[in-house]
Amino acid sequence: MGITKRYLNELTYRVIGCAIEVHKHLGPGLLESVYEKCFLRELGLRGISSISQIWVPIEYKGLHLDAELRLDVLVEDILCVELKAQECVLPIHDAILLSYMQMLQKPKGILINFHCVNIFKDGQKTLVNNLFSILPDE
């Protein structure tokens, strides 16, 4: 089975559900590393595979750079997730996630900020790139 927009949208929904569950138990105000460990645990409990702290390679016209960039969580080898635990998420955080998605050749990403009142309303943002647009719907 190939990756479809529908599959990615359903996976996104499930991943946001994991973040909501973690936030429901811990609330805002902790370190990002705490949320990351609990988020990974919740993904695992729900049978969703994930890898944390993925090195993001940078290649420029044949030059491979070691810039020590790391994506927080890669879900099911297709969905990039960046976690935050800060008062304000800035446009640069969107740009960083979009760059990671492009460099890793992944079509969709989620920016999750645990320092909020409600994850669903104001603690998450979903981003897609040109790779998502060329996926089949079903």
> In whole angstroms, how far apart are CA 125 and each of 57, 60, 68, 92, 110?
24, 29, 24, 13, 6
Question: Which single residue is written with the structure tokens 């990351």?
Answer: 36
Task: Quote the pLDDT of residue 1.
Answer: 54
Vertex 114 angle, CA 10 and 8, to 5°: 15
Q: What is the value of pTM for the model shown?
A: 0.95
* pLDDT, tens digit (0-9, with 9 covering 90-100), for 37-90: 999 999 999 999 999 999 999 999 999 998 889 999 999 999 999 999 999 999
Round to whole Å and give the CA distance between 19 and 14.
9
